[in-house]
Amino acid sequence: MNGLSLRLDCPGENDFRLQLDCQLPGTGITAIYGPSGSGKSTLLDCVAGLRQAAAGSLVSFRGKRWLAPDALVPPWQRRVAYVFQDARLFPHLNVQQNLDFAASRRADDNGASMPQVISALALEDLLQREPAGLSAGQKQRVAIARALLSAPQLLLLDEPVANLDHAAAHQCLACLQQLARQLDLPMLYVSHDIEEVSQLADHLVLLEQGRLVDRGPLLDLCGRLDTRLSREEQAAAIVLGTVLRHDPEYGLTELEVEGEILLVGQQQAPGQSRRLRIPARDVSVCRQRPLDSSILNILPVTLTQLEADGEARVMLRLALGAQYLLARITRKSASRLQLQVGDRLFAQIKSAALLMESADQHE
Amino acid sequence: MSAAELDAIYLTIALATITTVLLLLLGTPLAWWLSRQKANWSALVEALVAMPLILPPTVLGFYLLLLFAPDTALGSAWERLTGTRLAFSFSALVIGSVVYSLPFVVQPLQAAFQRVPQNLLNVAATLGAGPFDQFRSVVLPLTRRSFVTAASLGFAHTVGEFGVVLMIGGNIPGETQVLSIALYDYVESLQFAEAHRLAGGLVVFSLVLLFLLYRRDRQESWRVQA
């Protein structure tokens, strides 16, 4: 009961209806993922109270009822801050005044302090600037700072980095991740970009045409074959590893994943726990460990599941210790190798992207 | 300048000032309501507000005169409450002017309010600002200039009022004889020198006011952006 419980029936434009009934966690970052028009923003609007849901809808957070047949808490009393895709800074106020707008209306002093937020989002040099003169990335950082300064109980983010260039987006995401941990502030993060989601999210909610189709811990959902994610072209498993050391001679970093060593091309400080995103199309399998392959990362795995993926391809779910890899191979290869569930195989990993430092618990 | 003329000037300024203050008080919520209203029937309210723009002032004055008569509900209630007659009083002029100048205040405000993005109000709401707070701290600062426009137009239009005043105010010096009526009197009695003084003064006043408004619109490049 300390999370967010939703029972929503919310009409939108052109026959669209958001209809779902679920409990979302009250901690960490929950990503709402789905294609455009799947109802992601409608969901956030209903949580914020900016959109009217049909009678019978329920919204409650940490046991407090925000929307019920006999209760309606207006948006300004929900203590939910909302960061939109467009920063929506107040044009008549400069950056400092935009921040003050939020800080002066906060309900209590438990949230982040002004100096803390200004430094976390690197706004020191922008405080006296007018919003009109800021870049998209700067505006969005101000918008995030402003949201945090209202001392929210829940932070809603609607594709906050969709309009930013790669570097600005990366900076924003890193700030968000750090803040989520420091402030212990639950966030609902709407995105249609699975890479963003893989960086940030602890939990994942998959929406499709206004319905919730799946939800669960991100690492778990990404490593399954029965979700919509595994059918996407960019399907990828996410595994956790610990940075062991950097090899300066070849410019590679060694990570330990389930007792195995994985090499990646980015330099990282040892000891960190890291998420690795391994695209299914960059994983192939063989029965014997290849001795003369150019591929460095070859890990012993067990085939646990095999699913047809279109006419020509199959998806494999490969257990690596307690974690899973996905591999997309041709149906012809699967048949030639006579792959069976339970087979011991070697996964050749052509690429693995190291994601931002993660707070995941290694179980 | 004669005492009667000074009286008329004072009366006109008092009438226009009181009318403008009342119009801002009444027109602001009305304009806000109209700007956020999506229902079709609110167009009827909009049409009613705009009526004085196209109706001959005498039509308005005629109906107001009937309304102010001592035997109507309004007229008799007024007499009971104040002990004075409403018809042909300064108060009648104020009421008439408020109705007559209403569109000049409501329309610029409504247009300005409509340009305030709902997005910004939603942000303000999620940051803890209630409706009145949103209006005071977001809408007002973004539409301040339109308030100046609305007040100026309301004031100037009231100064230039003639037909309604003639119908409901009569021509009582020091009570209801405003500038435009005094001017009419001068012309009627062929006192053209005096008429010139008042007419010329009104022309200069209106020109200067409008010039100042339009010049400000040119200079300022305030942009409301989401």
pTM: 0.84
Q: Among A82, A91, A106, whose Cβ lies nearest the Cβ of B126?
A: A82
Provide, as residue numbers in chain A, all residues whose Cβ is less than 8 Å from the Cβ of B130: 74, 76
B185-204 pLDDT, tens per residue?
889 888 899 899 889 988 99
Task: Give contacts of A76 with chain B, Cβ < 8 Å.
Answer: 124-130, 133
Q: Are A230 and A315 in contact (CB under 8 A)?
A: yes
User: Residue B111 above 90 pLDDT?
Assistant: yes
Q: What's the CA gap between A206 and A33, in Å, rounded?
A: 5
Whether A163 contacts chain B with CB within 8 A: no
Query: What's the ipTM?
Result: 0.83
Mean pLDDT value across residues B162-184 = 84
Please name the residue ranges forming H helices in chain B: 3-36, 42-54, 57-68, 73-82, 90-115, 118-126, 131-134, 140-159, 163-169, 179-188, 192-219
Asked if A318 and A326 count as a contact pair (C-beta separation under 8 A), the reply is yes
Task: Answer whether B34's CB lies under 8 Å from B42's CB.
Answer: yes
Beta pairing class for A252-257 and A236-247? antiparallel
pLDDT above 80: residue B67: yes
The answer to whether residues A299 and A249 touch, using CB atoms and an 8 Å cutoff, is no
> With an 8 Å Cβ cutoff, are A76 and B125 in contact?
yes
Residues of chain B positioned with their CB less than 8 A from the CB of A92: 138, 141-142
B56-80 CB burial, b ≥16 within 10 A, e <16:
ebeebbeebbebbeeeeeebeebee
Q: Which among B119, B128, B141 is the nearest to A88, CB-wise? A: B119
Per-residue pLDDT of chain A (363 residues; tens, 9 = 90+): 578 999 988 887 777 888 888 889 888 899 999 888 888 889 999 999 998 888 889 999 998 999 998 889 999 999 999 999 999 999 999 999 999 999 999 888 777 889 989 988 889 999 999 999 999 999 999 999 999 999 999 999 999 988 888 888 888 888 888 888 888 889 999 998 888 888 889 999 999 888 898 899 998 899 898 888 888 888 999 999 999 988 888 888 889 999 999 988 877 778 888 888 999 999 999 999 988 888 889 999 999 999 988 889 999 999 999 999 999 999 999 999 999 999 999 999 987 777 765 555 443
Length of chain B: 226
Closest by Cβ to B138, choosing from A48, A90, A147: A90
Task: Record the tokens describing residue B160, joined without a space.
Answer: 């230039």
Q: Which of A53, A56, A58, A101 is nearest to A81 (CA)?
A: A101
- Contact of B121 with chain A, judged by CB distance below 8 Å, is answered with no
Q: What are the distances in angstroms from CA A96 to CA A158, A235, B127?
A: 23, 42, 15
- Six-digit token string for B216: 């400000």
List CB contacts of A187: < 8 A, sequence separation 6 or more. A28, A29, A30, A154, A155, A156, A157, A176, A180
- The amino acid that residue B79 corresponds to is E
CB-side neighbour CA atoms (13 Å) of B66 = 5
Q: A89: nearest CA in chain B?
A: B226
Say how far apart CA A79 and CA A61 lie, in whole Å.
11
Do B122 and A75 count as a contact with CB atoms less than 8 A apart? yes
